[in-house]
Structure 1
Amino acid sequence: MMRPQSRPARSLASGTIITIALQIYRQAGNRYFLISLIAHAWFFLIGLGLVVGGLIFGVVGAVFIAGNQGNFGIVLGLLILLLGLGLPLFGFGLARFTASGGLLSRLIFNALQDSTEDEAEVRRFIYPRLWSYLWTVLGTGLILLFIYLAWAAFGYLLYLGFWPLINSLDWGNMSEAWRTALILIILLLLLGVILAAMVTVSYVAARLSLVDAVLAIEPELTAMEAIQRSWRLTQGQAWHTLTVFFIASILVIPANLAASLINAVMVIPVAGFFAAVLLLPVWQGIKAVMYYDLRVRNEGLSFRLQATIPSPMRFMRRVILQTPESIELDFALAGIGSRALAWVVDQVILYVGLLILAIIVGYLYFYGIYPFLLEQFPNGDQSYNLWALGIYLLINYFIYNGYYIYFESAWQGQTPGKRLAEIRVVQDNGKPIGVREAALRSFLQAIDIPFFGIGVFLVALTPSEKRLGDMVAGTLVIQDEQATRNAPTGQTISLVARELAPLIQNLPGLGGLQPDHYLLVRNFLLNRQQLKPAGRFETSQRLHHSLQELLFVQEDIPSELAQASAEEFIEAVYLAYRQQQHS
């Protein structure tokens, strides 16, 4: 029998995934930190295995270099020591560390679903399968290594093919313009190959990034099946996954930078170890939320009527604003992930624009303005360059800040990056911001961003998620409640469903269909095109069965309804409920 459920969760934006993972971490930080600390303790075994292996290989190498190849017994003993001690220590430590990461992912996934599964029960699922985690890590590593080697071989073949051709060119008799153009073409080709290699490796790494989380959340899988499952889950979503991990990597830069600075003045590098322990639950939490989001996107995980599946958006911080007219406005705060995504997009737009400007201005100055000034005033060589540089930097400063001031004031608190991330800036009373607030926020970026990322810490740690610019300007960054990403444009109802709807409307069981049930059915019909075929079929069968249990408690199912397909039946129920409510 179905139970009412809240509005099903839509797929999550890239930045929102990071924010939700951080919020779950905050709620049970001590527990996750302790698991991470114990996980990193196993690194000592990994390190010990590497030390033993390194010493053995060093001694074996010294024996052979010294010409004592006859000491076969010594070499054999050292190899046995390596196989008997070094490799097992390394393998067990790595397996235990990876399994502990999987434990974190499963606990955070349970928190997403409000599962009551005990931590001890989770440990009983995970730790007896340590070698599965080891084979998963080794398998993923071998796949990435193969790709690295393939690109290295491709680069070497290019070198063998093009280097003789380059050497055969008569560079001495070539004009400066042609020489510059050829050098530029070669550099661009080299850069293109490097970028292609980086994109390929990053793409595959993103597709395989969830293997440990998958193995922990779906414990019936083998290591190879977990790799295949991660690959299938991320199909069509590789760039979404890659964006999430790229933004998260940027966000942890301040913490890693602070740890590096502390390590530089300390004898024992504890700060780096502490930072690694602190950040492991963040990465595993992101994997858990990403796994949940991909299940929603591809398999309709949120369309389950048998049990309540709460929305992960409940973890977002909310704020209630009181307007001058005594009206309360309830907003979800943007979160550090969405704000970082918006900032990265805006920075890319800005610096691409500034780079184009630099090329144009540089060309005009060095080939037009500068020769003219030298011709007219030959004694002012150095001063012209200094003045030109100063004016150019001033123009950059105004363009950089003007970008934020213009868009945030003209687009009701949004820049192109914020629009993509589905967030906007408002005043503390909920009103749109103006030029004053936008200017204060923009100018104070010079303090929020460069100074050890103080703005990142303030947004992540303060309840109102305000950086210095927000505090001074009196602004908040909130989720854009009017965003239309992934919003359905309508649904197509089959002719069969239209004919069956009156029959369902006369059923006594239709009265047991609650508004929440109707919303769930409607959302499935609106979003079913986004699901993968297998997920769509499974979800429709599940909804079909649940609706039959609700509508036909005592009476038999009429033959016309029994012969309808699952989606036709769901469409008919949707129409019948609507018609009943309208009448």
Structure 2
Amino acid sequence: MAENIPNNAGGSAYGQGFTNSHRIHSALTAGNIVTVAIQLFREKSDDYITTSLQSYLWLFLTGLGASLCAGVGTVIGQTIGLSNWAELGILALLFTLPMLAFGRGRKTAIGGVLSQLIFNKLVSRSETKEDIQKRLFPRVWRFFRGEVLFWLALVGLYFGLAFILGLILRGFFLSIRDQDFVDFFSLPEQDFSSALLTLITIIVLVLLFYLGLFLFFSYFIARLWLFDVVIAFEDVSARDAIRRSWQLTRGQGWQSLAIVMICGLLLIPPFSVSMFLSIFSIFAILFIAIVAFPIYQAIKAVIYYDLRSRNEGLTFDLDITATNPQNHLRRVILQTPESIELDLALGGIGSRALAWAIDQLLLWVGIILFWYFGSILYLTILVPILNNASVAFEQGELDQWIEAIATFLTFALSNCYFIAFETLWRGQTPGKRIAKIRVVRDTGRPVGLRESSIRSLLSSIDVFFFFIGVIRIAVTSSEKRLGDLVAGTLVVQDQRQGADETQQPFDVSPGISHLAAELVANPQLRTITPDQFLTLRDFLGYRSQLASRMRSQITTKLADQIRNLLGQNNQPLALGLDDLELVEATYLACQQANQS
């Protein structure tokens, strides 16, 4: 028979206290990964910041130790007769490297400790920080080797890209003679406009090329930067950790890139504000680094959890009580005019940063195209017409008018983008649609022209006035920036993203149904908890999404755990069932026991 597995299967006995939001195989958006990580960080921020401070103290102390070692190396060098400063410098460096390497490895290991603490929250695992440190600190040199390989890979990539870029630029400049520059500035007026447009086109293409190189380089960072959590969680070698990070993010590289970009965007406001603190800026930057370190490690832990849950069925384990990471998003209850309560998850700073970045990219591409084609229109059509007409315009005065008009149109375009999309797309722009968030009124109704206009016009104050909007989103429970506060709006998760499209029906043979009926009589069946039942349900509905190797491994693991729970001497288990049949029969037996 074919059974369609519902989200809330299980009824009162198997499923009580669980809702259809219990999706063990999570699939978080890039923005939600950052938001969930920040929320997990907030729960024990004092402890995490203290641990981060310890890592920087280790760097400081090992730096002092390295200075002492350098002095010892210099003295030894002079004792053995070295007088050349270069030779003494090399000897001092050799004495300092072990201490510096140990300090760096210890800091990376502490980062692994922070990631493990966050990860344990997601899988409801009880483990003290001291126990984690005892397990990870012996791997200090492995963490250091992993970081060295990570940076060597990036440096090699950087020089490879620089070499290719150098060849391209060399060929380009060799094709241009010095006389071409002289000829360019001595062109007659009618030819100068077309030459200027050609120059503008080249500049735009070069900028786009550099943007592409930056994204390409960042893509590799996003694919490799999980090496430290891999060493912490899987106890592999440094080289295998780099390979494992690349393998984990296969097919998810652009999502990982989006997460890296969000992390960079979130650091811009505090670093920008710190620049205004004059002589205290160095202390502000150090404080930001200490706070950002555990947040970054929390983000890595959530990425690791999400990728392994989605691609490898990490949480299909009866010994793990997995949580849905989306439960850590802040929520709000809205009262509609019809007295209906809406329980909505707020957009979160990660999703809003991602949406803002995408919208800004699209907006500035549109503005650049507007100015580019506007320049073509101005230089090739408008100027010749005005020159041939009897219009009393000085060239400088004409340029000022054109610049004023273009500036006004640019301002209008930058605001109309948000106003038009949010009004016509029910609170979504292209960026918000990709980030799966939308703007709604405080009553839960879609926003209109008034609300969208207020939000757009106040966005400049939110961003440029000491990033007051970012600060409000980060620290207030409603996550409202100034524009939201004045317009009476909220940014919430798009409810359609909660729809579970991964559950699939599975076929159960009549023989399995008969064995399930026999298992119902086993008193040990009641030892299977509601959460374990949901784990079986989710696995059977999701197993087709897993690679065959992982599907086989998880089936065997679940079957062994079921045998331990039900007892090896149980008759149905002694009939030579294969692992998948046992998992299916146990799931049906639990369901039948609940119905009876």
Q: TM-score, normalised to structure 2's length?
A: 0.82
Opposite residue 377 of structure 1, the aligned amino acid is V
Contact 1:214 1:226 in 2 (8 A): yes
Q: Bigger shift: 504-513 or 167-176? A: 167-176
Alignment-derived partner of residue 340 in structure 1: 353
Q: In the superposition, relative to structure 1, how do residues 415 and 552 fare at CA in structure 2: closer, same or farther (>3 Å)?
A: farther
Alignment-derived partner of residue 124 in structure 2: 114
Counterpart-to-counterpart distance in 2, 1:192 and 1:413: 30
1:201 to 217, 227, 249: 217
Q: How does 1:364-383 map to 2 (within 5 A)?
A: 364-374=377-387, 375-383=389-397
Opposite residue 258 of structure 2, the aligned amino acid is T
Does the residue aligned with 2:492 lie in a helix, a strand or coil? strand
Contact 1:414 1:424 in 2 (8 A): yes
Contact 1:247 1:337 in 2 (8 A): yes
Alignment-derived partner of residue 104 in structure 1: 114
Counterpart-to-counterpart distance in 2, 1:390 and 1:500: 80
Counterpart-to-counterpart distance in 2, 1:272 and 1:284: 18
Counterpart-to-counterpart distance in 2, 1:54 and 1:379: 72
Deviations 1:7-32 (A, max 9, x none): 23421110011111111111111111
Alignment-derived partner of residue 453 in structure 1: 467
Does the residue aligned with 1:306 lie in a helix, a strand or coil? coil
Shift in Å at residue 205 of structure 1? 1.7
Q: Bigger shift: 427-436 or 248-257? A: 427-436
Contact 1:56 1:78 in 2 (8 A): no
Is residue 133 of structure 2 the alignment partner of residue 133 of structure 1? no
Counterpart-to-counterpart distance in 2, 1:152 and 1:161: 14
Counterpart-to-counterpart distance in 1, 2:280 and 2:198: 50
Alignment-derived partner of residue 413 in structure 1: 427
Deviations 1:360-399 (A, max 9, x none): 2221222212322332304343333323222222222222
Q: In the superposition, relative to structure 1, how do residues 504 and 275 fare at CA in structure 2: closer, same or farther (>3 Å)?
A: same
Is residue 134 of structure 2 the alignment partner of residue 124 of structure 1? yes
Counterpart-to-counterpart distance in 1, 2:385 and 2:69: 68
Alignment-derived partner of residue 44 in structure 2: 28
Opposite residue 528 of structure 1, the aligned amino acid is R
Alignment-derived partner of residue 10 in structure 2: none
Contact 1:49 1:88 in 2 (8 A): no
Shift in Å at residue 51 of structure 1? 6.7
Deviations 1:512-571 (A, max 9, x none): 6887666544543443344344333323333444566778887423899825x62x6656
Q: How does 1:37-186 map to 2 (within 5 A)?
A: 37-45=53-61, 47-48=63-64, 79-84=90-95, 86-158=96-168, 164-166=174-176
Q: How does 1:550-561 map to 2 (within 5 A)?
A: 555-557=570-572
Shift in Å at residue 575 of structure 1? 7.8
Contact 2:226 2:245 in 1 (8 A): yes
Shift in Å at residue 353 of structure 1? 2.0
Deviations 1:146-186 (A, max 9, x none): 22233334345556666555559988899969977986787
Q: In the superposition, relative to structure 1, how do residues 170 and 401 fare at CA in structure 2: closer, same or farther (>3 Å)?
A: closer
Counterpart-to-counterpart distance in 1, 2:240 and 2:312: 18
Q: How does 1:295-306 map to 2 (within 5 A)?
A: 295-306=308-319
Shift in Å at residue 196 of structure 1? 5.6
Q: Bigger shift: 538-547 or 155-164? A: 155-164
Counterpart-to-counterpart distance in 1, 2:207 and 2:416: 32
Does the residue aligned with 1:464 lie in a helix, a strand or coil? coil
Contact 1:322 1:329 in 2 (8 A): yes
Counterpart-to-counterpart distance in 2, 1:312 and 1:401: 35
Contact 1:528 1:536 in 2 (8 A): yes
Does the residue aligned with 2:414 lie in a helix, a strand or coil? helix
Opposite residue 356 of structure 1, the aligned amino acid is L
Opposite residue 94 of structure 1, the aligned amino acid is R
2:514 to 494, 500, 503: 503
Q: Bigger shift: 447-456 or 11-20? A: 447-456
Q: In the superposition, relative to structure 1, how do residues 279 and 514 fare at CA in structure 2: closer, same or farther (>3 Å)?
A: closer
Contact 1:321 1:330 in 2 (8 A): yes
Counterpart-to-counterpart distance in 2, 1:352 and 1:159: 24
Alignment-derived partner of residue 270 in structure 2: 255
Alignment-derived partner of residue 281 in structure 1: 294
Shift in Å at residue 306 of structure 1? 3.4
Shift in Å at residue 131 of structure 1? 1.2
Shift in Å at residue 296 of structure 1? 1.0
Shift in Å at residue 33 of structure 1? 0.9
Alignment-derived partner of residue 321 in structure 2: 308
Alignment-derived partner of residue 358 in structure 1: 371
In the alignment, structure 1 segments of 5+ residues that lack a partner are 64-69
Is residue 235 of structure 2 the alignment partner of residue 235 of structure 1? no
Shift in Å at residue 471 of structure 1? 0.6
Shift in Å at residue 291 of structure 1? 1.1
2:445 to 402, 417, 431: 431
Deviations 1:280-337 (A, max 9, x none): 1111111111111111122112322333211122211111222233322211111100
Opposite residue 481 of structure 2, the aligned amino acid is R
Q: Bigger shift: 545-554 or 86-95? A: 545-554
2:340 to 324, 327, 330: 327
Q: Alpha carbon RMSD of aligned pairs, Å?
A: 3.9
Alignment-derived partner of residue 456 in structure 2: 442
Counterpart-to-counterpart distance in 2, 1:456 and 1:268: 20
Counterpart-to-counterpart distance in 1, 2:170 and 2:515: 73
Q: TM-score, normalised to structure 1's length?
A: 0.84
Alignment-derived partner of residue 481 in structure 1: 495
Shift in Å at residue 343 of structure 1? 1.2
Counterpart-to-counterpart distance in 1, 2:86 and 2:414: 65
Deviations 1:430-463 (A, max 9, x none): 2222221121111110111122221111001111
Counterpart-to-counterpart distance in 2, 1:551 and 1:354: 66
Opposite residue 81 of structure 1, the aligned amino acid is A
Counterpart-to-counterpart distance in 2, 1:16 and 1:249: 16
**Number of residue-to-residue matches in the alignment:** 565
1:223 to 212, 218, 238: 238
Shift in Å at residue 577 of structure 1? 8.2
Contact 2:418 2:456 in 1 (8 A): yes
Counterpart-to-counterpart distance in 2, 1:527 and 1:308: 18
Counterpart-to-counterpart distance in 2, 1:252 and 1:533: 41
Contact 1:37 1:277 in 2 (8 A): yes
Counterpart-to-counterpart distance in 1, 2:68 and 2:198: 51
Deviations 1:481-503 (A, max 9, x none): 22268733x73645xx3454543
Alignment-derived partner of residue 8 in structure 2: none
Contact 1:498 1:572 in 2 (8 A): no
Does the residue aligned with 1:476 lie in a helix, a strand or coil? strand
Contact 1:33 1:277 in 2 (8 A): yes
Counterpart-to-counterpart distance in 2, 1:56 and 1:370: 74
Shift in Å at residue 423 of structure 1? 1.1
Q: In the superposition, relative to structure 1, how do residues 450 and 506 fare at CA in structure 2: closer, same or farther (>3 Å)?
A: same
Opposite residue 457 of structure 1, the aligned amino acid is I
Does the residue aligned with 2:279 lie in a helix, a strand or coil? coil
Counterpart-to-counterpart distance in 2, 1:188 and 1:269: 36
Q: In the superposition, relative to structure 1, how do residues 26 and 275 fare at CA in structure 2: closer, same or farther (>3 Å)?
A: same
Contact 1:43 1:94 in 2 (8 A): yes
Does the residue aligned with 1:478 lie in a helix, a strand or coil? strand
Counterpart-to-counterpart distance in 2, 1:558 and 1:130: 46
Alignment-derived partner of residue 405 in structure 2: 391
Contact 2:568 2:574 in 1 (8 A): no
Identity percentage of aligned residues: 37
Counterpart-to-counterpart distance in 2, 1:55 and 1:158: 47
Contact 2:59 2:107 in 1 (8 A): yes
Contact 1:95 1:134 in 2 (8 A): yes
